[in-house]
Amino acid sequence: MSDELNKEIAKRRTFAIISHPDAGKTTLTEKLLLFGGAIHVAGAVKSNKIKKTATSDWMEIEKQRGISVATSVMGFNYGDYKINILDTPGHQDFAEDTFRTLTAVDSVIIVVDVAKGVETQTRRLMEVCRMRNTPVIIFVNKLDREGRDPFDILDELEQELQIGVRPLSWPINIGAKFKGVYNIYEQGLDLFTPSKQTISERVEIEDVNSPLVDELVGKSDAEKLREDLELIDGVYPEFDVNDYLAGKVAPVFFGSALNTFGVKELLDCFVKIAPAPQPVDALERKILPTEESFSGFVFKIHANMDPNHRSCIAFVKICSGKFERNVNYRHVRSEKMMRFAAPTAFMAQKKSVVDEAFPGDIVGIPDTGNFKIGDTLTSGEQLHFKGLPSFSPEMFKYIENADPMKAKQLDKGIRQLMDEGVAQMFTNSFNGRKIIGTVGQLQFEVIQYRLLHEYGAQCRWEPISLYKACWIESDDKEALDAFKKRKHQFMAVDKEGRDVFLADSNYVLQMARNDFPKIRFHFSSEF
């Protein structure tokens, strides 16, 4: 393995920031870019935010998403580190996109609003992190506003996110009386001055018992801080970076992204403790980033909504070796060799053609329909990456052809949209009808519009009352056959031909679980 490759890998940190909408993800992203020198004024990253819009106005959302291609991956240098932030859509109807993006990162930062605590979206995203043991750092935001007691927040984080927590900084008051944070990790006092552009003032102190602390924050707040820190030491075990890397304990920071407060401390700790690109599991074997041969997988496909330019960008996460422009690589699914003349990378908010990229990096490859989510590219080896699960959708509709002359176009359109990961399709084994499953109402509108405008096909939706689709399996073939026979009206197959049970209510699902103990029910396609 070459020194160059090792060096490049060691300096990379590829992560995503996740949060419930409005907790401050965009603001934090922007401030991180500010520190990386990737932008120079606050307010430059607003475009990646999908504003709250009526669900019917999805074109507007798509437009905003279109702009967000540029911010899909934000690369910048910080000291000796090369940082790649992968953006995740805030709108919950695009949660599936976010799940897939999480398969391409080595760690995440979760932003939580101090007044609201853990919200639904955060809980769901954390489930995905837990499945993969992704290391997590938590940033409790908006300390400049009135909020909850920090100890309560820690309890809630631990319970709701089912992960151990360890505060590495601690707030002195909150809201109007917020004075700053004590940095447990580096033993310093960061004093708060509300400002959107300047960085907080750091006072180095020997330890929290220093009289300087009383002088700076006042006697009673200093006392309270000391008591809190004692309590923290008593309740939470000392921070062990290995527990963090194993996804067992999440370090917690407090701050105010809007006021650029606590952000630099977060970033400084992050680059030190967050993992460099990690080994990735392929079906065949584990792939180490340091291997000389290139490998990577497509985790996201972004379609151009302009019907005159029907191109897409396939986002490839590099897992091992060096990726080079104009070199032949094997597209494993199609068995074709391909070379890419214009792969792009995303640095400092600019998208430009790159000659090479390393593990941890994301390259965007212009595509006209060759790629599917989950596709593997390699220097030659037959590899299939695991870990791009589909999740049990939340909404279901039958899709019907509304223009019999265009059946072929409809089939092709549906197939390609499913390959892009817009939604999931199940075929009912009983009546052969096709069911589209999504995480939000928006996707149905997106599909209908795109089928018409990109494929000239028309579809019609028909209601179906379903609660969940879950993948089933069993070691006992007889039990599986018996289940399928009993539930034959509610059986379907996914795009890979795997068995899926369509439960029309939670009650039915529970009964099925009770009645068929030998069947395993899964809510994600990977098990």
Residues that bind ligand G4P (CB under 6 A): 19, 21-27, 49, 90, 141-142, 144-145, 256-259
Min dist CB 29 to ligand G4P, Å, is 8
In the complex with ligand G4P, which residue's Cβ is closer, 50 or 189? 50
Min dist CB 40 to ligand G4P, Å, is 18
Phi-psi category of 262—alpha, beta or left, where left has phi over 0 and alpha has psi -120 to 50?
left
In the complex with ligand G4P, which residue's Cβ is closer, 114 or 519? 114
Cα–Cα distance, 136 to 46 (Å, whole number): 24
In the complex with ligand G4P, which residue's Cβ is closer, 23 or 451? 23
In the complex with ligand G4P, which residue's Cβ is closer, 105 or 451? 105
Which residue is listed with tokens 């590099």?
318
Its sign, for the CA torsion 358, 363, 366, 367, is positive
Cα–Cα distance, 419 to 401 (Å, whole number): 19
Give the DSSP per-residue string, 458-479. Answer: -EEEEE---SEEEEEE-S-HHH
Min dist CB 19 to ligand G4P, Å, is 5
Min dist CB 136 to ligand G4P, Å, is 16
In the complex with ligand G4P, which residue's Cβ is closer, 260 or 428? 260
In the complex with ligand G4P, which residue's Cβ is closer, 144 or 454? 144
Give the DSSP per-residue string, 240-287. Answer: -HHHHHTTSEEEEEE-BTTTTBSHHHHHHHHHHHSPPSPPEEBSS-EE
DSSP state of 87: P
Min dist CB 301 to ligand G4P, Å, is 23
Give the DSSP per-residue string, 191-215. Answer: E----SSSPPEEEE-S-TTSHHHHH
What's the number of CA atoms in the CB half-sphere (13 Å) around residue 82? 18
In the complex with ligand G4P, which residue's Cβ is closer, 160 or 403? 160
In the complex with ligand G4P, which residue's Cβ is closer, 11 or 49? 49
Min dist CB 232 to ligand G4P, Å, is 22
In order of 62, 413, 459, 513, the CA distances from 450 in angstroms are 11, 8, 10, 38
What's the CA angle centered on 255, arms 36 and 189, to 5 degrees?
95
Element (H, E) at 227: helix 219-235
Under 8 Å CB-to-CB from 435, ≥6 apart: which residues? 396, 397, 398, 399, 425, 426, 427, 428, 464, 466, 469, 492, 502
Min dist CB 24 to ligand G4P, Å, is 4
- CB distance 316 to 101 below 8 Å: no
- Burial of 206 (C-beta count, 10 Å sphere; 0-12/13-18/19+): exposed
Min dist CB 27 to ligand G4P, Å, is 3
Min dist CB 109 to ligand G4P, Å, is 12
Q: Around Cβ 308, how many Cβ atoms within 10 Å?
A: 5
In the complex with ligand G4P, which residue's Cβ is closer, 175 or 380? 175
In order of 290, 297, 300, 353, 363, the CA distances from 315 in angstroms are 21, 8, 5, 14, 6
In the complex with ligand G4P, which residue's Cβ is closer, 22 or 324? 22
Min dist CB 437 to ligand G4P, Å, is 26
